[in-house]
Amino acid sequence: MNPRSRPGARPRLAPRSALALSRTGAPTPGDERPKDRIRFEVHVIPRAARAAVGGIRDGALIVRVTAPPVEGAANEAVVRAVAAALRLAPSDVAIERGDRGRRKLLSVPRAARERLEALK
């Protein structure tokens, strides 16, 4: 069966060749995100042999963490790993979407843009 024909199946997107970065747009009602942050996608590999940040997979930054995906342990490890790679405090890294999956949308202060692009 073709996965696109299944009810509720997500459409497949063409892979992006580079890390997609975007500034947050005008806030919608109830949206409290500051405009001085950039958002980017990450692909998380939990239970890796060692923690590492770098590389691109389908347009998302690859983040390997040793923590298992149980009770938010991998999410905390992702935040710590990205913060360390970008030389930021963990409180500066926020998971905006995807807290229960491997694909996540993170946001960091705009000042970290150059360091983020260097991780490709």
Overall pTM > 0.75: no
Maximum Cα–Cα distance across the chain: 47
82-110: string of b/e by CB count within 10 Å (b at 16+)? bbebbebeeebbebeebeeeeebebbbee
38 phi-psi bin (left φ>0, alpha ψ -120 to 50, beta other) = beta
**What pLDDT, on the 0 to 100 scale, is given for residue 19?**
54
Percent of the chain at pLDDT > 70 equals 72
Question: Domains plus CATH for the chain?
Answer: 32-117 (3.30.1200.10)
Residue 13 identity (one-letter amino acid): L
**Backbone phi, psi, residue 42, to 5°:** -130, 150
**Backbone phi, psi, residue 23, to 5°:** -80, 150
Would you state the structure tokens that stand for residue 112, as one six-digit string? 């970290």
The tens digit of pLDDT for each residue in 59-69 reads: 999 999 999 99
